Chain A
Amino acid sequence: MVSTMLDSIRTRHWAILTFIAIVASISTVDWTSATHAGAGTSIMMFVHALVNPDISSATLITAGNAAWVTVTYAVAAMTIAIAFGIPLGLVASGTLLPPGVSNTTLMVSARAYLGFIRSIHELIWALLLVASFGLSPAVGVLAIAIPYSGTIGRVFAERLQDVPTQQLAAFQSTGASSLQLAIGARIPSVLPDITSYLFYRFECAVRTAAVLSFVGLGGIGFQIHIALSDLKFETVATLLYTLVILVMAIDVFGGFIRKRMIV
């Protein structure tokens, strides 16, 4: 009785503290710039452009080509990220080998490495890589691939650890070794989930590739930047719609693959 009362007081205590923290954070931001005189006109111009995108053939061709370039870089980045992330995730899950010192050592090292590379954002990786290698598409692709391999590895490792133990025990009782268990039960169990996650990451890679145009990637982000500098809002709208269609298409395609997946 007393402990429940204490608990509820403690909960209320934390709720109030959280509320104060939120209010403090919001009031710290300088909101005056967001309400300057010209903002209304700009927003109206942009809304007008969104309703009337530029659908001239020249713009559509530019948008299509730019989208293609962006997708190409995203595919390249994802290929590298998967090639490194999946094997690392397998090691980091600690499910590949029977429990023991060597397994724990491998697991902890892989986790530490994955944690390190993914805690640095792709934009920071881009800055670091540009500082070392200069502006080039390869730098942009690597800037995406490195942190993404960390995220993919971590998610893959977690999914592998979460496979229901009953299912695994039944499989193992047929005489399967740890490696057989991994390829026969663990990996197939997580494959549909991890596939849809990889498609989601691919979406993210497309968006990031668009943002990273400033390190020499080209593509749709680069075109948006040019159109914005020229104040061609209608062209910007076309490019934004292209990006939206692209991301939605990846989503639909991923769902299609996932539904038909039988391992």
Chain B
Amino acid sequence: MLGPVDLEIIFGEKIGVIGPSGAGKSTLLKLMSGEVDPSTGTVELKGRPLPSIQVPERSEIVGLMPQQFDLVPQLSARKNIEAGNSGRWSFLRTLAALLLPIHDLNASEIANHLGLEDHMNERTSRLSGGQQQRVALARLLVQNPEMMLLDEPVSSLDPSLASQILETLCGGSATPNSMQKTVIASLHSPKLATRYFDRVIGLSSGMIVFDKWSAEVDESDLDSLYKNSNLGITQDHENKSSELIWGRD
């Protein structure tokens, strides 16, 4: 669902991606995380083609929080959050974490920060949408990749919690895990995007409508972004061609 896209992202940038439903926001994030391969073109990470970076190493560089959370519903919230350690943990350490009541302190700290401390031992499928969203976010924060890709990270949260989390992610408030990270998040709200992110990319029907510093985004940009979608401008939806070069220091 993504037309030709040419993007360069610099390490440490905080980018908000906005646009109407079906604009290609999720696809863009999936392309960057390597979950989806482009039909033409390349995705480069730190100057290397993404497919050439194998999973354990890739997980240190890039991590995605999917829109549907994609947690393991039968596991407790704690086990889902601790899964963020998989890349660093050996098989035996993972097994021990699943079978024995050993708690990862870092995971607990992150969970507390997100207000999940009372739900850690609950089955994830029994948590509310907002709680599951925070579990997915906590898993990504535990994984702690250099670049965090977040697909609608605050869509199920109340406004004050959403602000608090975006502030945390974008380095406004002090948390050890989000400082000096590249953060790219898709959002439905242009207001949140311009308030918390340095750079805002407007996507519509798979095309970049604008790519600006958040201070420069004005009403006419937003008008064109959301008006285009209503007109239903047709794009080549079959081709997910893109040229993504990012993570250059």
Seen from chain A, the residues whose Cβ lies within 8 Å of a Cβ on chain B are 164, 166-167, 169-177, 179-180, 183-185, 188-189, 191-192, 261-263
**Contact across chains for A175 and B70 when beta carbons are under 8 A apart:** no
Assess A170 versus B74: contact at CB under 8 Å? Given A177-B91, A184-B83. Answer: no
Number of inter-chain CB pairs below 8 Å: 94
**Besides A173-B35, A189-B74, 19 other A-B contacts (C-beta < 8 A):** A167-B71, A170-B71, A173-B33, A173-B34, A173-B55, A173-B63, A174-B63, A174-B84, A174-B139, A175-B60, A175-B86, A176-B87, A177-B56, A180-B89, A180-B91, A183-B91, A188-B72, A262-B74, A263-B76
B142 to A, closest residue via Cβ: A174
Asked whether B247 is an interface residue with its Cβ less than 8 Å from the other chain, the reply is no
**Contact across chains for A171 and B35 when beta carbons are under 8 A apart:** no
Assess A166 versus B76: contact at CB under 8 Å? Given A172-B55, A176-B86. Answer: no
Assess A175 versus B94: contact at CB under 8 Å? Given A167-B71, A180-B86. Answer: no
Report the bound CA distance from A148 to B70 in whole Å. 34
Residue pairs across A and B with Cβ atoms less than 8 A apart, 19 shown, are A166-B66, A166-B68, A167-B70, A167-B71, A167-B73, A171-B83, A173-B64, A174-B59, A175-B87, A175-B88, A176-B86, A180-B86, A184-B72, A185-B75, A185-B83, A191-B74, A262-B76, A263-B75, A263-B98
Asked whether B133 is an interface residue with its Cβ less than 8 Å from the other chain, the reply is no
Q: How far is the CB of B208 from chain A (nearest CB, A)?
A: 25
Asked whether B95 is an interface residue with its Cβ less than 8 Å from the other chain, the reply is yes
**Contact across chains for B86 and A174 when beta carbons are under 8 A apart:** yes
**Contact across chains for A170 and B98 when beta carbons are under 8 A apart:** no
A170 to B, closest residue via Cβ: B70
**Contact across chains for B68 and A189 when beta carbons are under 8 A apart:** no
Seen from chain B, the residues whose Cβ lies within 8 Å of a Cβ on chain A are 33-35, 55-56, 58-60, 63-64, 66, 68-76, 79, 83-89, 91, 94-95, 98, 121-123, 139, 143
Report the bound CA distance from A185 to B91 in whole Å. 13
Report the bound CA distance from A175 to B73 in whole Å. 19
Partner of A192, one of B56, B74, B121: B74
Contacts of B84 on A, CB cut-off 8 Å? Answer: 174
Assess A189 versus B72: contact at CB under 8 Å? Given A173-B63, A174-B139, A262-B123. Answer: yes
Contacts of B123 on A, CB cut-off 8 Å? Answer: 262
Report the bound CA distance from A171 to B64 in whole Å. 10
**Taking each of B66, B73, B86, which has the highest tally of chain A beta carbons within 10 Å of its own beta carbon?**
B86
Q: How far is the CB of A142 from chain B (nearest CB, A)?
A: 30
Contacts of A175 on B, CB cut-off 8 Å? Answer: 55-56, 58-60, 86-88, 143
